[in-house]
Structure formats: C-alpha cells, structure tokens
Amino acid sequence: MLVVLALGCRPERAKAPAGVLTLTAVEQQATWLRNFNPLMPGPRFPSQSGIYEPLAIYNSVTGEWVPWLATAWEWRDDANTLAFTIRQNVRFSDGQPLTAEDVAFTFELLRRYPALDQKAVWKFLDSVKAEGPGEVVLRFKRPFVPGFMALAHQPIVPKHVWKDVENPVTFTDPNPIATGPFTQVRLFQNQVYELGRNPDYWQPGKPAIDALRLPAFPGNDQANLALIDGELDWAANYVPAIDRVYVSRDANHHYWFPPMGTTVMLYANTTRAPFADANVRKALSMSIDRALMVDVAMSHYTVPADATALSALYERWRDPTAVKEGDWVRFDVAGANALLDAARLPRGPDGLRRGGDGKPLTFTIAVVNGWSDWVRAAQVIARGMKKIGITASVHLLDQGTWFQQLQRGDFELAVGWSIEGAAPYEFYRWLMSADTVLPVGTAAPGNWHRYASAAAAPVFTELEHTVDPAREKELEAQLQHLFVAEAPVIPLFPNPAWGEFNTTRFKGFPDAQHPWAALSPNKLPDVLLVLTALEPVTLPDGGAP
C-alpha cells in the first residue's frame, strides 16, 4: 500500500505560492522551535535583522554606513559622547511609534542582563539616555570610536512590550512586535516557518515580497538538493563543483562567493618555543602550499590570503605596499629552510630539525573534528611542514575541547577563525594588541596565540579616539605594515561568503556584476538591505511564474 501511495501518484513538489520567497540562511537545524528573541544569540532568522532592526547598517561590500532606525549620528566632546537621531514615523507592528525611549530601554536591558550584552558594549558605555522622542545620547567611560558598530547594529525592541517580560534571557518572543519588514508569523511548524510582510512597514511599498519561507535542513546535503531542485530561491550553502552541479542546470541559477568571510588562520602559540620567533612563524608560513590548500580544502572558491591577512571585507582599507612587503605567504620551501637554519633549528642526520633542547621538532595542529575544510587545510599544512623537517600531526578535537584549549593557550598550532569588525582595527586588535593578551590558563576571547606588538600599541590607542576618516585610514595602514613585519599569526585563506540565488521567481539580488550589497543571507545585518530590495518576477501577462 505504501509503495502504491509513494510511487503510484507522482507528488507535486512543494512549490511556494507566488510572492513567497523560500530560503535557507544562518542556521541548519533538524527542527525549528519557536524563538524570535533578537537579544539572544541564535534566534530564528531573520529576527535580528528583518523582524527587528538596528539603528544603522554597515554595508560590508561598499563600506558605507546606511542610516536605518537612526537617520543621523554625531560624535561629541572629543568622542566621549555619541548621539543618534531616531527616525520619525516608524511604527512597531502593533501600531505604537518607535521613540528614543525604546532605544534607551534596549541598551538598559543589556546593562541589566549581561547575557544579552553580546558585544560587551557596557565595557565602554557609561550611560544611555533619551533626550526627547528623537534623540538618544550615549556617554562613554572613555573614548572608543570602534565601538560604534556594536552600538549601531543593536536590534531595538519596544519598551512597552519588553518592560513586562519577566526574564528577557529565556524569553522566546513567540509573537514579535517589531519594526522590520517581516513581522507576521504566518506559520510555524517544526519543519518549516513562514514570516509575512509587515503591512505598515516604514519604507512605503516595501517589502515587495509577500512572505519568507524557511524549511528546516539538517545539513548541507539536504539544503543543496532543494537548491538544485529549484525549490530554494535564495541560499547560503557550500555547493561543491557549483558550475556543474547548480549553474549549468538552469539559466536562472546564479551564485556569488566573494572572499569576504572571516580569515582562517594558523595560530602558533607564541608562549612556546620556537614560535616566539617571528622568523620561525614566517618559515612555517612559507612551507604552506596555499594554492593547493585553496583547491583541496575550499574547492577553489577562495584565494590564498595575503600577508595583511585582511579579507575582501576590508578591501578599501588594504594597503598595497604592505601586501607587497609580505613575501612570507609565498610557497617557498628553500626560503623557509634558510630562515629555519638562521633561526638555529638545525637538521639532524635523519633530516628532522632539532629544537633548542636537541629533540626533533614535533607539533600538533589542533582542528575541530568534522569541520572538513579545516581538517583538509591542516592536512596540507602538515605535508608542507614535513618538507622543512618538522613533524606535525593533525589533532582532531571536539568543538568544546578545541575552543577551550585555544582560549586557554593550551595548544601548539591550531587552525581557527579570526574576529571581524567594521575596520581592520578590531581585526588586528584581537591578533596583536597587548590589551587582548591574557595569561596562559585563562580563557581569552581572542588573541589565543598571546601576541603583543609593542609598536602597535600607540596606533591602537590613537584609533580609539580618531573620528577623522583620513587619519583613520593612515593609522589602519600602519597596522597592516606592523602585521606584515611581525607575522603574529599565519593567515591561510579568507572564507567565502556563500550565496546562491534563483531568478525564476524573484529578482534584484546583488552579484559579482552588481555588488551593491552582500548576497549571503548569513551576513547580518546586511541582509536587511537585500530583503527590502528583492521583488517578485512578473510575467508579461501579469501572473507569477
């Protein structure tokens, strides 16, 4: 009977109704549970940037700040105060107007519940006050201009709803009251949910899409099957051999994988010999065949990192002279050997190099078990190090153990991500600033390799005060030169920002030819720019395809 039912009637493939955009984004989960709390990490997409909205959006492709719930902002008294002008005529989905009170209340919530303060803004904030309905004034403990991104990107919740929430940490916000383009939960099942458009959205006529539909996919395989099948209109999947597997199947299938994700690094623990020596780190770097790595680990979807380690996210900051100076990211076994000889790590009769204690150099590379791109990258690294007389073994750890060892500085070599910000400042601060170095044994949020650059310290400090764009650019270039000279970590490759789209039913996606925003729905809050720009395709007769 089952067979008859299953095979006898050919089922209609689940096509979404006209105007309903089907996508898969940040999370891959076996089952959806209703949770739209935007203040906690990991709510259902697009809670943080789509249901709720931030004050302003950093367009990571164009490098511009786009005013959103705030129309303008201003630094005052030597960058000790920041004032946001709140947009007029914005209403929450229950009809109540958005005011400066709501913004101040949101930041107040973060202060009262540290678990909500994901970016630790209260480390530098002193107070947040609404000055009338249209302005919010944030006073700083000390000038900290780079903190702007965390503040501007904070999703704003309505005071009149959240003041009655007993515990905002465990609140699941099942029926969000918000300002964004998609606020109506039309359907919520364990395997799919649908968010309808906000009929009173503050941008007139937008969004042009009727609803978003998000099926639950447990992993890449299933999401890719749906993508290739034409069921998904928009996705952020890793697809192998995408030209053959996806693009060639339909003229409406497109992708754009700009290398603007986090730069994947090889961290060498500088508290352990011989990694304290910059030349040893450079030699390790030169033993790595990054071209091969990009091929086997990343299916050629990205490019080898240059010596500034900056991904395409920081393209407008990149300093060409610094890139040119950084010759230690070239695959150069002879050069690496010469550096190691000079560093007094001689080869023994067996061809293996000896450390200061006379023992052969053997290291472990800590990688997360199951993160296959990293595992392969580590395998390539180990092969390269063999060529320069160093034995490295790939050490597979579960996520928790790996991260714990990384944070406590309890590793020799490790593959890991890097921390992103709007400007290189934030990125480099977590790689070489003295104030991010914590003692070995203490869990550090970044700077796991424990490196402090004395020369970079004054540059970091000056950047924290600097609001002048020209001066900022100069200082950011200085940081790049220092990074290239000191090689605090070994950059491998920038992660691509995965993004695929199908133009059969919707149009207006950014792509390599039209790079007006990031394509990947993973990119928050940039996704708001795309969500409000997409339109359904209409056929000449006015119907939907």
Partner 1 sequence: MKYLLKRLGFYAVAAVFAVTLNFLLPRLMPGDAAGALFARFQGKLSPEALEALRRAIGISDGPLWKQYLDYLWGLAHGDLGTSIMQFPAPVLQVVWTGLGWTVLVAGLALVLGFVIGTALGILAGWRRGGLIDTVLPPLLAFVGAFPYFWLAMGLLFLFGFELKLVPLRHAYADGSTPAFTFSFIADVARHAALPIITVIIATLGGWMMGMRSAMVAVLGTEYLALGRAKGLSSLRLAWRYAARNALLPNVTSLGMSLGFVLGGSLLTEVVFSYPGLGFLMVQAVRSQDFPVMQGLFVMITFAVLTANALVDVVTTVIDPRTRSRES
Partner 2 sequence: MAAASSGSRAQGFSLFALIRSNGRAQVGLGVLAMFTLVLVLGPLVCGDPSDYVAIPYLAPSWQHLFGTTGQGKDVLAQTIVGTRASLFNGLVVGLAVVAIGAAVGVTAGYFGGRIDSALSLLVNVLLVVPSLPLAIVIAAYLPPGPYQVALVLVATGWAWNARVLRVQTLSLRERDFVLASRVGGEPHWRIIFVEMLPNMGPILLTQLVGATTYAIGAEVGLEFLGLGDVGAVTWGSNLYWASNDQALLTGAWWTFVPTGTCIALVGFALSLLNTSVDEATNPALRVERSWRKYLGTVHVKPGMVTPVVGR
8 A C-beta contact, residue 492 and residue 265? yes
Euclidean distance between CA atoms 331 and 333, whole angstroms: 6
- Position 398 contacts partner 2 (CB under 8 A): yes
Q: Which of 401, 404, 407, 503 binds partner 2 (CB under 8 A)?
A: 401
SS3 394: strand
Residues 227, 527, 505, 181, CA torsion sign: positive
Binding-site size for partner 2 (CB under 8 A) equals 25
- Position 228 contacts partner 2 (CB under 8 A): yes
- Position 218 contacts partner 2 (CB under 8 A): no
Which amino acid would we find at residue 315? E
Subset of residues 232 to 251 that bind partner 2, contact rule: CB under 8 A: 239-241, 244-245
Site string for partner 2, 354-393 (x = CB under 8 A): ---------------xx-x--xx--x--------------
**Binding partner selected for residue 461 from partner 1, partner 2, none, CB under the kind-specific 5 to 8 Å limit:** none
Q: Find the farthest-apart pair of alpha carbons in the chain and give their distance in angstroms, rounded.
A: 81
- Position 40 contacts partner 1 (CB under 8 A): yes
Q: Which of 85, 220, 407, 503 binds partner 1 (CB under 8 A)?
A: 407
- Position 538 contacts partner 1 (CB under 8 A): no
- Position 225 contacts partner 2 (CB under 8 A): yes
Of 264 and 283, which has the nearer Cβ to partner 1? 264
Element (H, E) at 106: helix 100-112
8 A C-beta contact, residue 90 and residue 98? yes
Return the exposure string of 303-326: e unless at least 16 CB atoms fall within 10 Å of the residue's CB, then b: bbbbbbbbbbbbeebbbeebeeeb
* 8-state DSSP, 143: -
Stretch that binds partner 2, among 10-18, 91-99, 219-227, 409-417 (CB under 8 A): 219-227
SS3 235: strand
Distance of CA 215 to the CA centre of its chain: 22
Instruction: Transcribe 168-211 into DSSP letters.
Output: TTT---SS---SSSEEEEEEE-SSEEEEEE-TT-SSTT---S-E
Q: Which of 207, 446, 494, 510 binds partner 1 (CB under 8 A)?
A: 446
Of 379 and 503, which has the nearer Cβ to partner 2? 379
- Position 394 contacts partner 2 (CB under 8 A): yes
Of 402 and 451, which has the nearer Cβ to partner 2? 402
Euclidean distance between CA atoms 409 and 136, whole angstroms: 41
**Binding partner selected for residue 222 from partner 1, partner 2, none, CB under the kind-specific 5 to 8 Å limit:** partner 1
Euclidean distance between CA atoms 433 and 445, whole angstroms: 13
Q: Tokens representing 91?
A: 């209403």
Of 326 and 409, which has the nearer Cβ to partner 1? 409
- Position 500 contacts partner 1 (CB under 8 A): no
8 A C-beta contact, residue 534 and residue 501? no
- Position 220 contacts partner 2 (CB under 8 A): yes
8 A C-beta contact, residue 168 and residue 109? yes
Give the interface with partner 2 as residue ranges (CB under 8 A): 220-221, 224-225, 228, 239-241, 244-245, 292, 295-296, 299, 369-370, 372, 375-376, 379, 394, 396-398, 401
Give the interface with partner 1 as residue ranges (CB under 8 A): 1-3, 5-7, 9-11, 13-14, 16, 29-31, 33, 35, 40-42, 113-120, 123, 169-170, 172, 187, 190-192, 194, 213, 215-219, 222, 225-226, 229, 262, 368, 370, 398-404, 407, 417-419, 443-446
